[in-house]
Amino acid sequence: MNNYTKNTEQLDQELVLRVQHGDKAAFDLLVIKYQHKIIQLVNRYVKDRNEAQDVAQEAFIKAYRAIGSFRGEAAFYTWLYRIAINTAKNDLVSRSRRHSNYQVDIQEVEIYENAPQLQDMDTPETDLLNQEILATIKKTIEGLPEEMRVAIILCEFDGLSYEAIAQAMNCPVGTVRSRIFRAREAIDNELTPLLTHGNFQ
């Protein structure tokens, strides 16, 4: 395991602990960090891009609800990966029941303490929250200074490494880290009211 991986997992663990101690805004940082990867992952199962984004959001909500049971026995992303896969498979099962007799193996859902939650997450309230989160993130990013906006887009939406972003923007890696940190902080500040008024529980 290289130092970057160690540092990433350590940061994830710190954020998870903050969430477990009631800091809901810390979970938003995990969402911002992994949303691009999770959408790409879900897209392997759910081919419609808009549907994949909805399923990814559902996976994050499930992860938030179950994070109290996370003990760090595996990396946070590995745990989140399993939730996303199971959410995508469950979505396929739900849709196949409506349209065909297609069956999908969803045996891994034992990681959830309450399996019926897999069927009842699609609510108007959840849809509204998803829309508000995405709209807030989009609006905040659009309002960032250009250098911060470009850096966060290249990182979170295009999936580039800090080194690749530094080359693209012709600046040191440390500057890229600073710009992305400040961009995430700005997004976090805008999302905090949304996530702390009982909407994300």
Confidence of residue 60 (pLDDT cuts 50, 70, 90): very high
Ordered domains of the chain (ranges, CATH): 1-119 (1.10.1740.10), 123-201 (1.10.10.10)
pTM: 0.49
> For 74-133, what is each residue's pLDDT tens digit?
889 889 988 998 898 888 777 655 443 333 333 333 333 333 443 444 455 556 666 777
> For 147-201, what is each residue's pLDDT tens digit?
898 888 888 776 778 888 888 888 999 999 999 989 988 888 887 777 665 444 4
CA distances from 23 to 15, 77, 155, 192 (A): 9, 19, 24, 10
Position 59 pLDDT exceeds 80: yes
